[in-house]
Amino acid sequence: MVKLTSMVKTSGCAAKLAPAELHRVLDSLPKVENEHLLGGYADADDALVWKVGDNLVCIQTVDFFPPMVDDPYTFGQIAAANALSDVWAMGASPAVAMNLMCFPACLDIDVMRQIMLGGLSKVTEAGAVIAGGHTISDPTPKYGLCITGFCSPAQVWKNGGAVPGDVLVLTKPLGVGIINTAVKAGFASEEAAATAVKSMTTLNKYARDAARELAVHGATDVTGFGLLGHCYEMAQAGDVTLRIDSSALPVIEQALEYADLGMLPEGLYNNMDYLKGQVEFPGGLRQSLRDVMFDPQTSGGLLLAMDASDAERFTETFPDGRIIGSVVEKKDYPLVVF
């Protein structure tokens, strides 16, 4: 059987366009305004917010990418978990989804079936349904979902809501992009690969549920732009500075080892370029730890800004959550690592 990862140059969220190039295009487009459109890409939010009625908004997002694992079922699970995450990052619940599939003619059609079954398993776990989709023939396999969710206007989490005095909570460890690169090179251990897959297939539903009754001021998920890229968007949207405690970051241990050996995805360098001059780093910081902070994550965790008491309550009920920093008044740098 053909290995899925042998058919792609970049994988998962590392396949995203370089953020600097993407923003050059997006910033040149006319701003879309409509009385029902309450949020979208102009605010760096993870999904658009559409007012349906006084007490109901629709959350809509789309996400797809090439494989980072060879097993088609697992690839479908990861792609679905990643796409669903944008709805939870907005504080909403996914309701209905549609498949997006690019499939090479050289592969057995059962591979497509297994990818879709993997996606279905995670959509079902999320409490949503898949109701159709679209497929095209393409030399590079790609899979993802278009998802619609719903919540009340008061429940929407926005990227730009972080305020000085908040603390920052991250709900998944960093380093899956580096580990995926090591896997593709045939260098990663089985343990590291399994740890990355477990993280990527874990739904952010459970982190969202644990924070649902708390006052979340700002929220996003950490994916292709890396931890610092998504922190930067949160800082810019809220006109604040985020302080990141490098010693508090949850990191998959082997990712540091592989980063030391130079196994870095292309997207990591794109993220570094995008944030040049935007991050204050301390002297003597381990280079591999700095790399991990730029590492493009596939199906990464939620990044939540909330007051300290709520953050403590959250980490008690959701032990995978880690307090990694704080929000302060705007300084010379949008991001300060210490």
**What pLDDT is stored for residue 53 in this prediction?**
93
Could you tell me the residue range of the domain that residue 294 belongs to?
Answer: 167-337
Burial label, 212 (beta-carbon count in 10 A; 0-12, 13-18, 19+):
middle
Q: What is the separation of C-alpha 199 from the centre of its chain, rounded to a whole number of angstroms?
A: 12
Reply yes or no on whether the pLDDT at 68 is more than 70: yes
pLDDT value at 14 more than 90:
no
The answer on pLDDT for 21 being more than 90 is: no
Alpha helices by DSSP H, listed for the chain, are 19-26, 72-89, 109-125, 176-184, 190-201, 205-211, 226-238, 253-260, 266-274, 287-294, 308-317
Instruction: For residue 151, tell me if it sits in a domain.
Output: yes
Task: Based on the fold, state whether residues 192 and 308 are members of the same structural domain.
Answer: yes
- pLDDT above 80 for 11: no
The larger pLDDT score, comparing residue 212 to residue 11, is at 212
At which residue do the structure tokens 């923003």 appear? 23
Distances 48 to 45, 120, 147 between C-alpha atoms, Å: 7, 23, 11
CA distance 93 to 157: 12
pLDDT for position 15: 78
Q: Same domain, yes or no, for 182 and 240?
A: yes
What's the chain's average pLDDT?
A: 95
Residue 42 has pLDDT above 80, yes or no: no
Q: Which helix (H) or strand (E) holds 67?
A: none
> How would residue 9 be classed by pLDDT, with cut points 50, 70 and 90?
confident
The answer on 185 and 118 residing in a single domain is no
CA distances from 138 to 83, 118, 135, 142, 298 (A): 20, 20, 9, 8, 22
pLDDT reading at 111 higher than 80? yes
Among all residues, which ones are annotated catalytic? 13
Answer yes or no: is pLDDT of 333 > 70.
yes
pLDDT for the residue numbered 1: 64
Task: Match 């690169």 to its residue by tokens.
Answer: 181
CATH number at residue 205: 3.90.650.10
Number of domains in the chain: 2
Boundary-marking domain end, from 155, 178, 205: 155
The residue-averaged pLDDT of 107-131 equals 97
Tens-place pLDDT, residues 230-252: 999 999 999 999 999 999 999 99
Gap between the Cα atoms of 111 and 252, Å rounded: 30
Looking at the fold, whether 242 and 105 belong to one and the same domain comes out as no
Residue 216, in any domain of the structure? yes
Structural contact between residues 14 and 265, judged by C-beta atoms closer than 8 angstroms? yes
pLDDT for residue 149 is more than 80: yes
On whether the CB atoms of residues 231 and 305 are closer than 8 A, the answer is no
Q: Compute the distance between CA of residue 288 and CA of residue 285 in angstroms, rounded to an integer.
A: 9
Judged by average pLDDT, the poorest of 18-22, 70-74, 138-142, 310-314 is: 18-22
pLDDT-based confidence at residue 27 (cuts at 50, 70, 90): confident
Angle of the 72-89 helix axis to the 190-201 helix axis, nearest 10: 40
Q: Which domain CATH number covers 50?
A: 3.30.1330.10
Kindly indicate the confidence band of residue 216, based on its pLDDT and cuts at 50, 70 and 90.
Answer: very high
Q: What percent of the chain has pLDDT over 70?
A: 100
Q: Pick the more confident residue, 41 or 24.
A: 24
pLDDT at 276: 96
User: What does the pLDDT look like over 305-328, one tens digit per residue?
Assistant: 999 999 999 999 999 999 999 999
Query: Are residues 281 and 234 part of one domain?
Result: yes
Pairwise CA distance, residues 159 & 216, whole Å: 10
